[in-house]
Amino acid sequence: MKIADALMFNVIRIPLRATVRDAVELISAHQLSDLMVVDDANKFVGVLSEGDLIRAGMPKFEEMVAEGSLSSGLAIFQEKGKALAGAPIEPLVIKNAIVVSPNDDLLTAAGIMVKKQI
């Protein structure tokens, strides 16, 4: 089976100039784990993952220790999230994404995903 046989052709895209809020809203609304990031000409430039968005807002261990409790970590996460909401997604975009061809075997993609722990 070829990758083209399993492709979704209505892939959710987000412009590189979008904000973190825009990305979170798209991921939440469509229950996605990754977004295809495109430039103004709708050309693929990279991938934005749900995990990278979460990690961007996560408190550092030192921040939680300074506050004295794990429950303060949630408050830090909320504050960082609010601060990040209007920030551009560009610094979080994986621009050297692993890509395959629609003509490649589906098992080729699966093998790459397993090897790279995607």
H or E, element range at 34: strand 34-38
Residue 99 CA: distances (Å) to CA of 9, 26, 67: 16, 22, 42
How would DSSP label each residue in 46-66? EEEEHHHHHHHHSPPHHHHHH
Which tens digits make up the pLDDT trace of 23-49?
Answer: 999 999 999 999 999 999 999 999 999
Which tens digits make up the pLDDT trace of 71-96?
Answer: 777 788 888 889 999 999 999 999 99
- Determine the Cα–Cα distance for residues 35 and 47; give it in Å rounded to an integer: 6
Rounded to 5°, the CA angle 53-54-59 comes to 120
Q: Which of 55, 44, 49 is nearest to 117 (CA)?
A: 49
